[in-house]
Structure formats: structure tokens, C-alpha cells
Chain A
């Protein structure tokens, strides 16, 4: 079982590497807040801990974890969206040569 999990980890890491090296510096802050929001996925572990009747200690720890993870998910996705909404291209037609510039820059 462990070897299967290692496969997943390493391959996911490669996918991440391929994708994230292509993110332009322009969007590095949204990238950080986006990965922050996605790391809120530990909520799925917290949910099981909080709702499985494993005694009061596990329930309370799980509850706090649910709060933290949810705050990250909600706050993370909202702030990423808020930032991305701000990024606009030049609407003016006389933007000159820059308008033709590819937004995809390494």
C-alpha cells in the first residue's frame, strides 16, 4: 500500500512541477493563495476526526482542525478570486506593441 502512495506522491509532484514552472511571476501571489486554499483539503481528514465518536479529545481536536481548514478554504478561494479580478489587460486600442505581447511568459 505504501508504495502505491509513494507513486501518487511522486507523480503528483511532477505534475505540480510542470504546471507551476509555467505560472508567470505576475501571478505568483495568487498562486500562493490558491495553493493555500487547496491545502485546506486537510479538511477531509479533520471531518472524519470530528465526526467519528472517537472520544472527546479526538472530537475537540477535529473540531478545531475543521475550523482552521474551512477558514483557509473559504478565505483562500475568496482572496484568490478577488486578486484575479483585479488583473486586467489594457483596454485602450493604442496600447502599442505591448498589446500583442504574449501573456504567457516563462
Chain B
């Protein structure tokens, strides 16, 4: 018996080391794949170490669960297109949080039905924290999924007194939580608390707009990790604590990075007040300079003779699935002796690093992808900047206009280039509802139309140029 416990603990230790090595490998793209395979082996080790646990007496449900889970997981891993990655991640956050919540409920249920019959305050605290954060994440991530999948409207849904309602619900949940710690036998309070947290998850994510999803998804990732860590505290299981802490920190760091890249304070993020600043309508003047529209032929000539080109991709490129055409165009320009780089804003797309994956999928070498800080100094020497479906991240108002809602947000300095070609469907304002002075700038020409169609035309024209 003791030897078995020791084996379990050793398997957990080994798995923890492999997970940390796996995450560490993600600091180097060329080592990352191998490292994550090690982490997967670690997971297998931990599962095998658990299966020899003497508390487990019946393997039928376990086997059924493992098989069914693998059947669901395989398509989620292999068939989901890269453009749908954000909603895919949101969905799996919901799954992970649901697993943590159910383990918590099952544990609580067991204590008073055939278990010890009592539970100390510390363990009840951990259990309560687990189900509170867990159920909040389950529904929050589901709403995020709905918005990203556009089953739900991606605009912020707001009503008066929203924050007050959320605050009251939050206080209510905390009150029940405290009551439970004082008297854990109140199962009514336990289940009511779960219900309130689930409702809160919905209400907190509903008012958040689509373009703010990177922060939300990262934050929910953090909550999901913290729920897993709380499970570890409740069960006295160290590997759950370790993984939960890793996950929690990772999500938290990403959320901080994203909110910094949007110039939102982090407390603004934590208290769910997103979208409130975006309600400002688009009356902020961009001057009345005319917008210069250009044909694909003229744009192609500009690109064909350019020495230095920077591509700025945005969510519009993902929507149009135009990444392959972008790469094709870049290869043509390179064949003619030009140089093409890609400037990636931290919040371009709907999740951290979204653009990088899309471009990598289209076989763009990753050493051509540059972060904002790396490339911003190069815009003045650039002949042509090609903005594809990006808007707010290249709006110079963020730098120059203190009255603009996005004033202070770090942007890509596309306006400093010698010329700019913007691929855009129409003149509609960006997510933040602000007009973009870049579009009216004398060096800018607009190529209207679907990004994919426009790029296909450009490829054809550059070939003939």
C-alpha cells in the first residue's frame, strides 16, 4: 500500500518536472514541439500513477470516460481550423473548469454522504473557492465561445446598473461562501453559491465586445488554473496545485500583456468594466481630407517596385482567411528583390498570438514576424505598408489625439511609412467605433473589397508587372 502511494507521488513529481520543461521549451520555437511532447508524456505518467491509487476500485466508468473524452478531444485537436482557434480555446476552458467544478461538487457530496461527515474550515474554503471560480469560468467561457463563434452578438450588451447588479451578485456569492466556511453542512448555500457564480460568469462576459476577447480568454484561462489549484488544496494533491499555479500565472500574465497593449488598466479588466469606454461614438473628427481609393492595378505596381514592404495583418485577414494569399504576394515581391516583413500588434486578432499562428500555417517563416517594439522603428524607411483588415492598431489618433478613446494605446506606426495601402471592406469604423486618421492621410490609398479577393487580384497584377 505504501509502495503504491510512493509510486503515485513519484509519478506526480516526474510529471510536474516534465510540464515545467515543456512550458520552458516554448521560449524557443525550434525546441517547442519536442518539449510539448515531453509534457504529454508527463500527463500520461500522472494518469498512470493515479490509476494505481488504492481508492479506485471500479474501472468501468473510468474507461468509458477516457474513451469518450478522447473521441471528443481528437476532432477538437485535429480538425478545428486555425481561424477558429479563439473559440476553440474558450470552449476547452469551459471544459476544464467544468471538470474542476464537478470534482468539487462530488467531493462535497461525498463528505456528507458516506464520507467523514465533517470538513474543516480550510478544506471547505478550498472547495468553495474551487466551485466558485470553476462555475464562473464554465459559463463565462461559454459566453465567450458564443461571442467568438458569433452565435451571440459580439457587440457589448449593456444595460443600466449592470455593474451594480454584478457587484450585488458577487457580494451574495461571497456571503454564502463565508457562511459555508462557518457551517459546511449548509448544502443549500453550497448549491446556491454555484448557481450565482454561474450567473455571474454570464453577466460578466456579456458586456464585453469581440475585440476585447483576448483579455477575457486569457483571464478565464487564469481562473481555470486557479480553480484547478483550489482542487489541489481541497484534495491535498500537489500536482493539481502545481499545474493550477502554472496555468493561473500564465493566464494572468497574458491578460496583463493584452490589457497593457490596449492601454486599459488591469483593475478595469478585473472588475469586468470592458466595453464601457468603447461606447463612445465615432464623432471624433478625422478631418475632412478625402479618402483616396486605388485600383488593384495601381496598388500592384507600387508593391512590385517596392524595396521594403511591411504587412500589418488584423482580424479582417482572419475573417477573410486571406493568409495564404498574403504569403503568395510576399513571395512574388521577394522574387522581384523586395523585402517583406510582418508587423504583429499584441492584440491583433481575437487571442494572444493569433496572427502568428495564421501566418505560420500559411508557411510564412516565423523569423519574418516582428513584434510591435521590434519593428516600429523601421516604418520610416519602409516603401509600402500593406494593412490587411487591421484598424485601431494603426490609428495614429492613439498617439496624437488626447480626446480619442484609444489615446495612449501603443500602435504600429504605419503612418510614418512612405506610403500605405489599406485593404478594407468599406469605410466602417473599427471595433472601437473611432474614425481612423490613417485612412485620410495623403500617403494612404484604400483598396476596397474582400481581403482575399483583393489579394488574389494583387497577386495576379504583380505577376504581370
Interface residues of A (CB under 8 A from B): 1-2, 5, 8-10, 12-13, 15-17, 19-55, 57-59, 61-91, 95-96, 98-99, 101, 103-105
Q: Is B268 an interface residue (CB 8 A)?
A: no
Interface centre among A28, A37, A57 (most CB of B within 10 A): A28
Pick from A34, A46, A73, A88: contact of B22, CB under 8 Å: A34
A residues near B73, Cβ cutoff 8 Å: 70-76, 78
B residues near A45, Cβ cutoff 8 Å: 100, 103, 231, 235, 237, 240
Cβ-defined contact, B232 with A5, below 8 A? yes
* Subset of 22 A-B contacts with CB under 8 Å: A1-B236, A8-B245, A13-B246, A16-B23, A24-B371, A27-B27, A27-B353, A30-B32, A31-B23, A32-B217, A33-B89, A35-B250, A41-B240, A43-B47, A45-B103, A55-B114, A57-B106, A65-B103, A68-B102, A82-B78, A83-B357, A85-B33
A residues near B218, Cβ cutoff 8 Å: 32
In angstroms, Cα B369 to Cα A28, docked, is 13
Cβ-defined contact, A52 with B55, below 8 A? yes
Minimum CB–CB distance from B191 to chain A (whole Å) comes to: 12
Cβ-defined contact, B32 with A75, below 8 A? no
Pick from A33, A59, A77, A101: contact of B40, CB under 8 Å: A77
Q: Is B279 an interface residue (CB 8 A)?
A: no
Cβ-defined contact, A89 with B367, below 8 A? yes
Q: Is B228 an interface residue (CB 8 A)?
A: yes
Known contacts A35-B225, A54-B106, A55-B113, A16 near B95 by CB under 8 Å = no
A residues near B23, Cβ cutoff 8 Å: 16, 19-20, 23, 31, 34-35, 38
Cβ-defined contact, B247 with A71, below 8 A? no
The count of residues in chain B whose C-beta lies closer than 8 Å to any C-beta of chain A is 119
Pick from B43, B231, B353: contact of A73, CB under 8 Å: B43
Pick from A30, A32, A49, A105: contact of B221, CB under 8 Å: A32
* Chain B 46-61 per-residue mask, 1 if CB under 8 angstroms from chain A, else 0: 1101110101111101
A residues near B27, Cβ cutoff 8 Å: 19, 22-24, 27, 104
Known contacts A8-B242, A55-B110, A57-B113, A36 near B229 by CB under 8 Å = no
Known contacts A13-B248, A34-B39, A54 near B228 by CB under 8 Å = no
Closest to B138 in A: A68
A residues near B95, Cβ cutoff 8 Å: 68-69, 71-72
Pick from B51, B70, B239, B254: contact of A32, CB under 8 Å: B254
Minimum CB–CB distance from B204 to chain A (whole Å) comes to: 20
For the residues of B in contact with A, the DSSP-based class is helix
Cβ-defined contact, B246 with A23, below 8 A? no
Closest to A12 in B: B245
Minimum CB–CB distance from B136 to chain A (whole Å) comes to: 15
In angstroms, Cα B29 to Cα A103, docked, is 7
Interface residues of B in 190-242 (CB under 8 A from A): 217-218, 221, 224-225, 228-229, 231-233, 235-242
Cβ-defined contact, B72 with A71, below 8 A? yes
In angstroms, Cα B59 to Cα A59, docked, is 11
In angstroms, Cα B351 to Cα A77, docked, is 18
Cβ-defined contact, A29 with B354, below 8 A? yes
A-B complex: 10 closest residue pairs judged by Cβ atoms: A70-B69, A78-B77, A74-B73, A66-B65, A28-B353, A75-B76, A90-B365, A75-B73, A16-B249, A28-B352
Minimum CB–CB distance from A34 to chain B (whole Å) comes to: 6
Q: Is B19 an interface residue (CB 8 A)?
A: yes
Cβ-defined contact, A63 with B366, below 8 A? no
B residues near A47, Cβ cutoff 8 Å: 47, 50-51, 53, 56, 62
Cβ-defined contact, A75 with B106, below 8 A? no
B residues near A35, Cβ cutoff 8 Å: 23, 221, 225, 246-247, 250-251
In angstroms, Cα B81 to Cα A82, docked, is 11
Minimum CB–CB distance from B119 to chain A (whole Å) comes to: 13
B residues near A89, Cβ cutoff 8 Å: 29-30, 365-367
Closest to A83 in B: B357
In angstroms, Cα B31 to Cα A104, docked, is 11
Cβ-defined contact, A95 with B109, below 8 A? no
B residues near A76, Cβ cutoff 8 Å: 73, 77, 92
* Chain B 347-385 per-residue mask, 1 if CB under 8 angstroms from chain A, else 0: 000011110110011010111110100100000000000
B residues near A81, Cβ cutoff 8 Å: 33, 36-37, 40
In angstroms, Cα B85 to Cα A29, docked, is 8
Cβ-defined contact, A61 with B43, below 8 A? no
Cβ-defined contact, A75 with B72, below 8 A? yes
Known contacts A39-B243, A45-B240, A85-B33, A79 near B249 by CB under 8 Å = no
In angstroms, Cα B365 to Cα A47, docked, is 42
Cβ-defined contact, B351 with A29, below 8 A? yes
In angstroms, Cα B110 to Cα A50, docked, is 12
Known: A8-B242, A55-B113, A84-B32. 11 other contacts (CB 8 A): A13-B249, A35-B251, A36-B93, A43-B47, A48-B53, A51-B57, A68-B95, A73-B69, A79-B80, A80-B36, A95-B365
